[in-house]
C-alpha cells in the first residue's frame, strides 16, 4: 500500500534520473542540444548518420515524460495539474517529431539530387522545426513547466521553506530561459541567454529530485494539502 503522495515522490525521483539516459546519449551522438540551432542541412545529415538507433533514442526521450506527468497529476493542485498536462503534451509532440517527421525529411534530403530539392526540404524542415520544436516543445513546454513548478512550490505548503523558495526561483529561471527561442527570429546574440535553458533544466531536475525525496520521506501531509495526498492506492486485487 502506498499513498499518492509517496507515489508522486517516487516518480519525481525516477524521472530526472531516467531522462538522463536518452539526454546524455543524444549529447554524445547527436551534439544535442547545440545542434538544434545549426543549419538545416547539417542537422539532417547528422540525423541520417544516426540511423534507427538515434530515432529510438528520441522515442525513449519522449517516453520518459509520462513519469513526470503522472506524478504531477497525483498532487492535489488542480491548476498545477493543468499546467503539467499542457507542458507534457506539447513537449512530447516536439520530441516525437524526431521519430515521425524528421526521418522522412532526412531520407528525402539524403536522396535529393539537386540543390533546389535540398533547399526545399531544408525549408520544410525549418518550418516544422520552428512550429513543433521552438513554439511547442521549447516555448510553450517550458512556459507551462515553469508555471507548474511555481504553482507546486507555492501550493505544497508542508514542504520545507527552502525547497519552496528554490522551486519558485527555478521556475522563474525557466521563464527567463524562454527568451532563447526569440534568438531564432530576432538578431539577439547573448551567451547568457543561450545558456539559460540548460541551466534552468539542470536546476529544475535537481529541485524535482529533492521534491521527490521530500514527498517520499515525510510521514504526513501538510495542513494545506488535501486528503487525496493521504489516500492510499490499492492494487486492483485489493
pTM for this entry: 0.88
In a domain, 31, yes or no: yes
The string of pLDDT tens digits covering residues 63-73 is: 999 999 999 99
Average pLDDT, the chain: 90
Which pLDDT score is estimated for 126?
A: 97
In a domain, 235, yes or no: no
Give me the domain span that covers residue 60: 2-221
In a domain, 163, yes or no: yes
Please say if the pLDDT value at position 230 is more than 60.
Answer: no
In a domain, 236, yes or no: no
Q: How many domains does the chain have?
A: 1
The string of pLDDT tens digits covering residues 169-180 is: 999 999 999 989
Burial of 91 (0-12, 13-18, 19+ CB in 10 A): buried
The string of pLDDT tens digits covering residues 101-111 is: 999 999 999 99
Please say if the pLDDT value at position 232 is more than 60.
Answer: no
- 40: three-class secondary structure by DSSP: helix
In a domain, 97, yes or no: yes
- Other CB atoms within a 10 A radius of the CB of residue 183 amount to 15
In a domain, 51, yes or no: yes
Please say if the pLDDT value at position 120 is more than 50.
Answer: yes
In a domain, 237, yes or no: no
Q: What φ, ψ does residue 220 adopt, rounded to 5°?
A: -145, 155
In a domain, 234, yes or no: no
Cell of 74: 497525483
Contact 155, 137 (CB under 8 A): no
- Going by C-alpha positions, the residue among 198, 197, 70, 42 that lies closest to residue 126 is 42
Amino acid at each position: 500500500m502506498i499513498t499518492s503522495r509517496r507515489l508522486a515522490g517516487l516518480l519525481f525521483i525516477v524521472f530526472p534520473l531516467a531522462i538522463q539516459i536518452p539526454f546524455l546519449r543524444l549529447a554524445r551522438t547527436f551534439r544535442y542540444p547545440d545542434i538544434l540551432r545549426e543549419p538545416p542541412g547539417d542537422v539532417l545529415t547528422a540525423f541520417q548518420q544516426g540511423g534507427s538507433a538515434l530515432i529510438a533514442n528520441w522515442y525513449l526521450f519522449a517516453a520518459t515524460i509520462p513519469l513526470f506527468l503522472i506524478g504531477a497529476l497525483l498532487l492535489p493542485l488542480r491548476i498545477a495539474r493543468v499546467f503539467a498536462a499542457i507542458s507534457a503534451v506539447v513537449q512530447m509532440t516536439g520530441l516525437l517529431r524526431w521519430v515521425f517527421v524528421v526521418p522522412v525529411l532526412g531520407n528525402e534530403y539524403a536522396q535529393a539530387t539537386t540543390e533546389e530539392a535540398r533547399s526545399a526540404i531544408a525549408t520544410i524542415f525549418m518550418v516544422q522545426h520552428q512550429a513543433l520544436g521552438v513554439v511547442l516543445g521549447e516555448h510553450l513546454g517550458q512556459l507551462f513547466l515553469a508555471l507548474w513548478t511555481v504553482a507546486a512550490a507555492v501550493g505544497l505548503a508542508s514542504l520545507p521553506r527552502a525547497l519552496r523558495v528554490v522551486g519558485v526561483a527555478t521556475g522563474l529561471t525557466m521563464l527567463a530561459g524562454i527568451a532563447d527561442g526569440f534568438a531564432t527570429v530576432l538578431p539577439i546574440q547573448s551567451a547568457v541567454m543561450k545558456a539559460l535553458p540548460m541551466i534552468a533544466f539542470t536546476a529544475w531536475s535537481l529541485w524535482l529530485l529533492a521534491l521527490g525525496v521530500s514527498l517520499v520521506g515525510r510521514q504526513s501531509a501538510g495542513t494545506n494539502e488535501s486528503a487525496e495526498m493521504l489516500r492510499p492506492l490499492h492494487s486492483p486485487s485489493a
